[in-house]
């Protein structure tokens, strides 16, 4: 049981060391990336909505 605790403590120490090596993005970079994602999702959803409406109209004409 004591060996498990020692392994856990060692593991957490190694995690801490590795996290210090991480190159965290700046707030400005995160904000820029977030804006790009939101705009991309908006554009793609608008495009897919137009395609959906167009296909719906075409199928309605074909079924008649």
Maximum separation of any 2 CA atoms in the chain, in Å:
77
Helix ranges (H only) for 1-64 are: 2-21, 27-63
Whole-structure pTM value: 0.63
CB neighbour list of residue 25: distance below 8 Å, 6 or more residues apart: 33
DSSP 14: H
Question: Can you tell me the mean pLDDT for 47-57?
Answer: 98
DSSP 23: -
- Residue 14: the pLDDT is 96
Distances (CA, A) of 43 to 32, 36, 38, 47, 58: 17, 11, 9, 6, 23
Question: Can you tell me the mean pLDDT for 28-50?
Answer: 98
């Amino acid at each position: 049981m004591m060996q498990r605790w020692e392994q856990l403590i060692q593991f957490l120490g190694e995690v801490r060391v590795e996290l210090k090596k991480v190159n965290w993005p700046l707030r400005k970079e995160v904000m820029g990336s977030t804006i790009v994602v939101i705009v991309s999702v908006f554009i793609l959803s608008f495009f897919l909505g137009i395609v959906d409406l167009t296909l719906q109209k075409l199928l309605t004409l074909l079924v008649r």
